[in-house]
Amino acid sequence: MDVRDYLPRDATALAAAVKAGETSAAELLQLALTQNERAQPRTNAVCRLMEREARAQLAKPASGPFTGVPFLIKDCAQDYAGLPTAYGSKALSGVVAAEHAAVVRRYLEAGLVIFGKTNLPELALKGVSDSRALGRVSNPWNGAHTPGGSSGGAAAAVASGIVPMAAGNDGGGSIRIPAACCGLFGLKPSRGLVSSGPGFGEYWFGASCEGVVSRSVRDTALALDVIAGAEPGDPFLVAEPGVVFANVMTRDPGKLRIGTTTVSPIGTEVHAEAKLAVENAVKLLQGLGHEVEEAKPDIDGAVLATSFLHIYFGQVAALVSEARAKGARREEFELLTRVLSTLGGAISAGALTTQLLKWNGFARALARFHARYDMLLTPTLAHPPVRHGEGDPSSAEQTLLDMLDRIGLLGLLTRWGVLDGMIDKIARDSLQYVPFTQLANLTGTPAMSVPLHWTADGLPLGVQFVGRLGDEARLLQLARQLEQAQPWFERLPEWVRAD
């Protein structure tokens, strides 16, 4: 097999080729490594090669639905025993994992050959991937633009043909955002369907979960079959799906009733291309026999965003505190991380609890919406993939925040409310391009980004579907139907296909 045979096959097909004796796991690994050598100078998608570990895997007997398929994990929460899980941070680069994360163990048991870790923003905090320690990741479709975040390295690796599928995780859109930016399929599963153990019970209070970005719906369905299910010690036991996703996704979803909106829930601007992406999706859905009408959940988006940002800030403070207890120095963290940590440290336990209690209201309101509609359709992003640095705090803001942080006044001024205007602006700026994705995280519902649109400039721009809690099967069925009606698998950047 050569690269011309490798690129047109998804992970399911590559595994079948290995099983049939048409190729070998060793040959596929070499193809992935060679493609990475081509792509890495353009994208910087892979932050740690694990060739030695991969070849050690090849020396062992393997079985499973993905046997022999090259695979990449994200350097965040996906611990690989004996290697650091650095979260894109210099401060955590020496923290070595004692054991595999459950999801990593399941990937290995499925026969996937893990040969590297993918790049991300520090602590997986942003919708762009621009770690100071690891360097920024570039979009394979246009290197001047971001591939999204926080699973930006994973998406860039898949879109550049290194692997057909890669691991990600999603705490506020971090699978769906990069999938939308890179022309890929990205599914965020329901809360608790995939274990966060053993290192975590509920990561980000259950807002974050594990999944993959892929080029085919069937790969994502099979991956979900592999990783779904509880582990001993998990905080609660989620009911088994009762279906094999790889089988059920081939069924017709039936006539669906879908509510749709392109209005930003936080009142920010939505780009014309994002609106066009949804408009075209509506036409496609109606042509397939589905009923689509303007409708949205009765949820105050600004209130939801504030609730999300409270847990976001609080989690950063906790992570930085834990890292410092292990020997990390505060100055090793990036400015934004230090600022967010200070903001999180200034939030009282009562204020955080108040915000967490609001999640119930969001979930109930979304359930009322889903009593009438099978799914909610929105843009995944409010804007096409942004250029590197777009939306960052100004130099003056960064200088002021850095000075206040270094002299210890930032926390005090925050508690006094002196910086409320600047903080609100930074928070608003951080969500202006990605205001649609946090709803599914706080409610625990499954959601997917489907690559149905490319802009006039040739950049991908996915659309998002939010489903009922536990209804991954229906989302996958619709995704498969859309994939057949408007195929995207063959769409790759021109340089990827060039010999």
Which residues are catalytic, by number? 74, 150, 174
Alpha helices in 20-124, H assignment, sequence order: 25-43, 51-58, 102-109
Structure tokens at 22: 């048409």
Q: How many CB atoms lie within 10 A of CB 317?
A: 17
Contact 173, 127 (CB under 8 A): yes
Query: Would you say 102 and 232 are in contact if contact means Cβ atoms under 8 Å apart?
Result: no
How would you classify residue 214: left for phi > 0, otherwise alpha for psi between -120 and 50, otherwise beta?
beta
Separation CA 389–CA 471 (nearest Å): 37
Of 456, 455, 462, residue with least CA distance to 483: 462
Nearest to 207 by CA among 175, 172, 179: 172
CB atoms near residue 377 (< 10 Å): 24
CA distance 318 to 344: 8
Cα–Cα distance, 320 to 15 (Å, whole number) = 40
The CA-CA-CA angle for residues 146, 433, 257, to 5°, reads 115
